[in-house]
Amino acid sequence: MARLQHTVTVAALDRSWFEECAALLLDVVESTRTGPDGTLLEGGEPVPGVRLVKGRHLRAGARYTVTQDPAPPTPGEAPQAPVETLTIGIREWRRSTAIAVEQRVASADAVGRVTLRLRTPDRPSGLEARCTLRDPAGGFLRRISGRARIDLAAWWAAVAAPAGALPAARPPVSARARHPLGRADLSIAVRPAGDGARKAGTDGRKAGAGAWEVGVTVTVRGRALLRPPAALVLLLFRVPLKRAFRQGIDETAARWNEVVEAGLPSPEELRAEFTEAVVTRNPGEAGPG
């Protein structure tokens, strides 16, 4: 078993800004309509490649196809093969309780599905994700599954806890990936950093005052028969593995701080950016909702 841990300090994010933006983006999605010409935004702009093929728009049972044209080949390169059409289904769509969507993957490289469920979308309290993927060519080692959970209510409670408060029984963020050779577990814990002296950005409402101390833990376990050789490999590469892990976490935290401290967009600015991205995106990059 290998256990990697690292803690970083990041700029805090304001809860009200986050929830206002989440609700606003849902408003944009729910303002879309579908018809013979595909999916359109409220202003009539087409959403490239997204088409309703079954059920009622944004209702349980609705199914969409998302297509993408291959990128033009560069000079001297062979043309790319057409990208397979993605299928996205709506399992549940109630903003007061939950939104759940499923994406089915079927390509030359992978077959499987990914499901996402957002609890109380108007004021997000949690996000759950599950996935199963396998190589269509077969093979015992060519499959993987995983699940992740983000308890947003627990996260906000943790960052608002008074100094010296005991941590929650379980971290607000956790994930697990399973492979025939073993499994990996991720957990992320958070608490206010120090005395909260750091202030991110110039707009406290968006960035939030103070900072968060975020602890990331990854545990890797091999299957019973593979534990001895896996332990040897981990022993030989422990130092570079830990160094790479810490570096990755530090770089992610640095990027987060750079974005937050630069000043986050207002909800209306974010709405405009989101709308423009949906209209101009390369079809197939995202689905409805």
Q: Tens of pLDDT along 171-229?
A: 999 999 998 888 999 999 999 987 544 444 444 445 456 899 999 999 988 776 566 66
| Collapsed DSSP state (helix, strand, coil) of residue 161 | coil
Q: Which of 85, 110, 60, 111 is nearest to 289 (CA)?
A: 60
Burial 10-40 (b: 16+ CB within 10 A, else e): bbbbbeebbbbbbeebbebbeebebeeeebb
Which residue from 25, 22, 17, 7 is spatially nearest to 201, judged by alpha carbons? 17
Distance CA(97)–CA(123), nearest Å, equals 10
The full set of domain ranges for the chain reads 2-280
* Res 109: pLDDT: 81
Pair type for strands 143-150 and 173-179: antiparallel
- For 127-133, the CB contacts below 8 A with 24+ separation are 127/152, 133/105
pLDDT tens, residue order, the chain (289 aa): 788 999 999 999 999 999 999 999 999 999 999 988 899 999 899 999 899 999 999 999 999 998 876 555 566 665 555 556 789 999 999 999 999 999 998 877 888 999 999 999 999 999 999 999 999 888 778 899 999 999 999 999 999 998 778 888 899 999 999 988 889 999 999 999 875 444 444 444 454 568 999 999 999 887 765 666 666 666 667 788 899 999 999 999 999 999 999 989 998 899 999 999 888 865 444 444 3
Looking at residue 72, its pLDDT comes to 58
DSSP annotation of 188 reads: E
